[in-house]
Structure 1
Amino acid sequence: MSLTMSAAEREAFLAGPHVGILSVADDAGRAPLAMPVWYAYEPGGEITFITGRDSRKMALIRAAGRVSLVAQEAALPYRYVSVEGPVVGFEDPARPEDRRAMAERYLGAEGGAEYLEATKDAADTMVLTRVRPKRWYTRDYTKQPR
């Protein structure tokens, strides 16, 4: 039996509220930059995440024009989705409703409101990035016979 996820399985998994690890090539001869990110995804759509306009991460994303994202379930049995693709757009600055939706996705309504209040001074420096999934790599050990 294959441990690879079907297209529907991988898209449903990626749509869950996992903290992703975003990787982007570094043009200075260093290893790729890999950082945890909050992200959003709906099956068949684009991956979105928000980061600071003046961050090293954003400079590398703009230069590379593509990223990879890994979402995983760290508890046994392990599952993960790794996806890469081109950056297809930016919202600069990120819209308040996108910031709110992302904060609430990970922190709930109350925690999201607290986060937005704590980061309100940086709100106009945040950029939403859109990525079109192109290549997928998956593993689902829940499919492994016991």
Structure 2
Amino acid sequence: MHRPREWESVALVDAPEPAGSSTIFVVLPDGSHIDEGDVDRTGVASIVQLIDHEPPYRAEAVRRDGSTWAVGIRAILVVELPSSVLGDELELVWDGHERTTLVGGTPRLASVSELEVLAATRFDTWVVRAQRLRDEYWEVEIGPL
């Protein structure tokens, strides 16, 4: 059995500015980025500018030699949710009869209609997992139940 590909595309970029050996970052729909690694924000920005991929995406960059970086890129679904949505992690499940919502792993009666509508357009029964990236931006995964 083949292992699923971790990255949709891989690029080599020449970015002399960043210090460090690896970094992980997310580029949001508006082109801004969130750094999750050990390279400073300016260094990540220099790598992001060299990547020819439509946002939003998640990427991991590893220094190969000198100023050469290998960058693995995977498109992600990013949704803007109202600031009234609490927590940093959401899980919504629809089994065809009952909706369950977990906020930070705790059951809640809350509804997140934006995610429910999005999931219902894809599957009859579904699971949605969402992780807050920054402010109103959430990384969302939707799958069948």
Higher strand fraction: Structure 1 or Structure 2? 2
**Which structure's relative contact order is higher, taking Cα pairs within 8 Å and 6+ residues apart?**
1
Same-fold call, TM > 0.5? no
* TM-score normalised to structure 1 length: 0.26
* TM-score normalised to structure 2 length: 0.27
